[in-house]
Structure 1
Amino acid sequence: MWFRGNSKMTFYTYNYLHASQNTWQYARIIIICVVVLGFILFSIHYLRHRFDMKYKDLSIIFGTLLLLILGMQYNDFSNIQNSIKQSGQMTTVVREAAKQLDVSKESISVNATTPNDNVLIKSSKGFFRVDYNTDGSQFVLERVDLYDSSNVKVEGEK
């Protein structure tokens, strides 16, 4: 089967998918911790020096910023969970495809970070299309030949 893709196809390695699951969540946790620490420090300074209004203003600013960040975090919680779940599903697809093709999971890359109907797998044995069953719980690999495989870029490749 021939597959004609976009002019530039980007594939993602297993390590790239696995690392991208945690990177942004760690950054958010670090930002929240820094704001909480700033809020606590300025609140303590304000309680020690009640007549110095700059600490009161700074603690109010950090408190407002903390509430704003926590509100956004709560709002994005379901989106983050969904993204982690879908990225985890793709790493599972890569692991299962590696078993089916009898290659290492590090030698496989996929052209999507979330499961969809047009997932392609690039391995040392060629290109394969992932064909899911109706409920998406199982898949089969169908070998395909790319019309133009010269425009393939692999993210996370060493």
Structure 2
Amino acid sequence: MTFYTYGYLTNHHNTWQYARIGLLIALLIVFIGLFVYYLRHRWNVKYKDMSIITGTLLLLVLGFQINSLVSLRSATEQTGEITSTVTTVAKQLHVKPAQLAVNATNTNTNLLIKAPQGYYRLDYNADGSAYVLEKVQLHRPKITLIKE
């Protein structure tokens, strides 16, 4: 079973976003350079073809980036929900949020909290607006703790 610390949940960043933005900028620069070179030398058709290929790659990477940003936005909203849940549970248990770990990165119906006092289960009501915190005993737990 994998548990994520509060630090991991709050500081987890997607570094691929920066690489994709860098790739977009590089492709845009190459595209503009090839297109300008083609406009100056219209007799050389290979630069026209290369600029079309680069433009197509640019649009493809841009589509991936937009899709990834939408996914990142929903993941950020879900992470915000789970971190607020962890802070309220920390207040109830009278510990710091950094001492808690949770078994999911989004709120679902089967959340387990690892605290210094033991393991707790969060049981949500039907609409997800409230929960019950109860202490549980895990039998032979194989715990993997992912930290920031």
TM-score, scaled to structure 1: 0.77
Q: Distance in 2 between matches of 1:38 and 1:45?
A: 10
> Quick one: which amino acid aligns to residue 10 of structure 2?
H
SS in 1 for 2:12: helix
Task: Identify if the C-alpha distance between structure 1 residues 125 and 50 changes in structure 2 by more than 3 Å, giving closer, same or farther.
Answer: farther
1:82 match: 74
Give the total of aligned pairs.
148
The answer as to whether partners of 2:20 and 2:61 remain within 8 angstroms in 1 is: no
Q: Distance in 2 between matches of 1:88 and 1:10?
A: 19
- Give the one of 1, 25, 47 matched to 2:39: 47
Deviates more, 1:69-78 or 1:97-106: 69-78
Q: How much does 1:153 deviate?
A: 0.5
Q: How much does 1:52 deviate?
A: 4.1
The answer as to whether partners of 1:14 and 1:108 remain within 8 angstroms in 2 is: yes
Deviations 1:106-155 (A, max 9, x none): 22111111211111011112111112222212323211111113x10101
- Give the one of 88, 96, 113 matched to 1:104: 96
Amino-acid identity (%): 49
Task: Identify if the C-alpha distance between structure 1 residues 96 and 34 changes in structure 2 by more than 3 Å, giving closer, same or farther.
Answer: farther
Deviates more, 1:26-35 or 1:97-106: 26-35
1:148 match: 140
Task: Identify if the C-alpha distance between structure 1 residues 11 and 55 changes in structure 2 by more than 3 Å, giving closer, same or farther.
Answer: same
RMSD of aligned Cα (Å): 2.4
TM-score, scaled to structure 2: 0.81
Task: Identify if the C-alpha distance between structure 1 residues 89 and 144 changes in structure 2 by more than 3 Å, giving closer, same or farther.
Answer: same
- Give the one of 128, 137, 140 matched to 1:136: 128
The gaps in structure 1 that reach 5 residues or longer are 1-8
The gaps in structure 2 that reach 5 residues or longer are none
The answer as to whether partners of 1:21 and 1:88 remain within 8 angstroms in 2 is: no
